[in-house]
Amino acid sequence: MKYVVTGCAGFVGSTLVDRLVADGHHVVGLDDFSTGREAFVRQACEAPGFELVRGDLRDPGLALDAALGADAIFHLAANADVRHGTEHPTRDLEQNTIVTVNVLEAARRNGVRDFLFSSTGSVYGEAPVVPTPEDAPMPVQTSLYGASKVAAEGFIQAYAEGFGIRALIFRFVSLLGERYTHGHVIDFVRQLREHPDRLHVLGNGRQRKSYLYVGDCIEAMLTALRAAPGKVGVYNLGAGEYCQVIDSVGWICETLRVTPTLTFSGGDRGWIGDNPFIFLDCARMRGLGWEPTMTIREAVVRTVGWLQEHDA
């Protein structure tokens, strides 16, 4: 098979590329290296089945050329910074919504059969139902990031209906594991490296969040590609549990062998648009035969280990 992976030098993209190349596929990877890392594609670049294209997907020609003859596109490129959205109000629209339509156009014009998309549990806003199923009540968006992703989802669904492309949309919780590059675990590890005796936590530390190990996420996408019925499939992806921020602080400190004094910014949210409780109902994905293999605690410990080895 020929697969296109956008955001191929990112955390998830590069992990997926390594897996697809190992499985013997021809993979074209696209990245602008704005947040992607050279080191993450080094291994893939040595494989004959991998082709790296450097460029900005805001240029519609980039994906168009790359998708020639492709069987499926994994569209993972995105601005993944939820927290600072309000500092650059149009970035999410440009990098997440408009770029998705550029990649959809590439799929349509090249007759690509499958379009796989990394969406987010943030599309549920502050969900009134937890664990949140895919058919939760229509949400009110609370972040530009969530808005840009739910916007992209809608265009993908309309392309599926209008042009016969099969759409697989994955609503991720936050991911953990090797090549993890941003989020609260790295923030905490960096703080503790600088000052092992103190740690500042945004919010009151009781925000409840779910996570998923990156390897489990890749396995879910490949399972859905193989087994999902219908022309549009929307799948939540998360661990079967949640933890409090304060739990993960404990696991991180244990792994780093530090006992800092904690301070809290207070309030039930870490920032404007932060969601105090994210926990997704993943029964639909489990129904395709997938199961996460790692607990959140195991994933946090593994992530901290990787950050220590790779000088976060």
Residue 135 CB-half CA count within 13 A: 3
Under rule CB under 8 A, residue 161 binds a second copy: yes
> Residues with catalytic annotation?
145
- Candidates 4, 151, 228, 256; binder of a second copy (CB under 8 A) is 151
Given the complex with a second copy, which of 101 and 222 has the nearer CB atom?
A: 101
Under rule CB under 8 A, residue 111 binds a second copy: no
Vertex 103, ends 101 and 104: CA angle to 5°?
Answer: 60
Q: How far is the CB of 135 from a second copy (least distance, A)?
A: 4
Length in residues, the chain: 312
Within 10 angstroms of residue 113's Cβ, the number of other Cβ atoms is 13
Given the rule CB under 8 A, which of 43-51, 96-104, 182-190, 211-219 is the region that contacts a second copy?
96-104
- Candidates 15, 95, 97, 303; binder of a second copy (CB under 8 A) is 97
- Candidates 66, 144, 173, 201; binder of a second copy (CB under 8 A) is 144
Under rule CB under 8 A, residue 135 binds a second copy: yes
272: left (phi over 0), alpha (psi -120 to 50) or beta: beta
Q: Taking CB under 8 A as the criterion, which residues in 217-256 touch a second copy?
A: 232, 234
Per-residue binding string, a second copy, 184-223, x by CB under 8 A, is: ----------------------------------------
Structure tokens at 180: 């993890």
Q: How far is the CB of 122 from a second copy (least distance, A)?
A: 10
CA distances, 139 to each of 126, 129, 210 (Å): 7, 11, 19
Is the bond preceding 131 in cis, omega lying within 30 degrees of 0?
yes
Q: How far apart are CA 239 and CA 203, in angstroms?
A: 23
Within 10 angstroms of residue 299's Cβ, the number of other Cβ atoms is 27
Residues that bind a second copy (CB under 8 A): 85-86, 89-90, 93, 97-98, 101, 104-105, 108, 123, 125, 134-144, 146-148, 150-155, 157-159, 161-163, 232, 234, 272-273
